[in-house]
Amino acid sequence: MTIIVTGAAGFIGSNIVKALNQRGRTDIIAVDNMKKADKFRNLVDCEIADYLDKEDFIELFLDGAFDGDVDAVLHQGACSDTMETDGRYMMDNNYRYTLDLFEYCQTEEIPLLYASSAAVYGGGSVFKESREYEGPLNVYGYSKFLFDQIVRRRWNERTSQIVGFRYFNVYGAREQHKGRMASVAYHHFNQFQAEGKVKLFEGYGGYANGEQRRDFVSVEDVVKVNLFFLDNPDKSGIFNLGTGRAQSFNDVAVASVNACRVASGQERLTLPQLVEQGILSYIDFPEALKGKYQSFTQADIGALRAAGYADDFLSVEEGVRRYVENWLLKA
């Protein structure tokens, strides 16, 4: 029996593949689009049974090439660029592809765990898995929102496990290929390494400088939650996947800088000290992001807890420190 991981060379997908390997699973079919060839690096230290391009895979999958041989599909593949303006591409790649997977998995009674997104909530202030709080601000968010709606409409007809994860702001190992869409922790680290300084957005929408707040969640925790549901095929639903704690961009910058400073034998500094010394500074909020930017996100994780997931989530301070020490400084 095999496990299929789509987006397997990407950020979250490759971390899932590595975690499965650590459990002794190597019967993994890795599916991705290697047009960005440097993503292969994410799989170099992983063991897989086969690799398929995403278009070749979906044809084979829907034609029954894997019938009776699949334990589960962990569908992490998507275009996650929130600035993408080609709506036709986004809907085909994110929505239609996922729908095809879903329909076949339901027909063959194959568990499907898929990546949704906190982008479905748009500019709202309540982040709870309920239709009245959802209103995406961009076509990426809409592509995720629409599939979640399909799952809800067909809920009572489901034949096998279906789990959607509304990822909040994920950071951590194996995201280096994402460019501008990589996490702020990644960008802060690289800025500090290159210039000895980190720049954040000035205040906007009632927030002080660097105080826009997001629910930043370590990819370590994201993988743990995925594996929890893989281990519990009786549990289905659409779940927020964040920490349940909003923290500021300042918090991320302070954690990134201090992890670098400690690694080089320097003392930690507080936010006021970093600002006073010019290590942290603030730039104008981009006009292009106004009206399209989530200044606050905080996952309501009540449904996730009710489903039985009980582990604590890493704070920004601990998660970013681990990311910098265990991955970025070793890259």
Residues annotated as part of the active site: 140, 178
d(CA 117, CA 241): 9
Asked if 150 and 103 touch (Cβ cutoff 8 Å), the reply is: no
Three-state SS at 43: helix
The residue to which tokens 């400073």 are assigned = 261
In DSSP terms, which residues pair with 180 in a beta bridge? none
Q: For residue 233, count other CB atoms closer than 10 A to its CB.
A: 14
Asked if 252 and 220 touch (Cβ cutoff 8 Å), the reply is: no
Separation of first and last alpha carbons in the chain: 34
Asked if 171 and 253 touch (Cβ cutoff 8 Å), the reply is: no
d(CA 164, CA 148): 7
Asked if 318 and 245 touch (Cβ cutoff 8 Å), the reply is: no
Asked if 183 and 172 touch (Cβ cutoff 8 Å), the reply is: yes
2-6: strand order across its sheet: 50-53, 28-32, 2-6, 70-75, 112-117, 162-167, 237-241
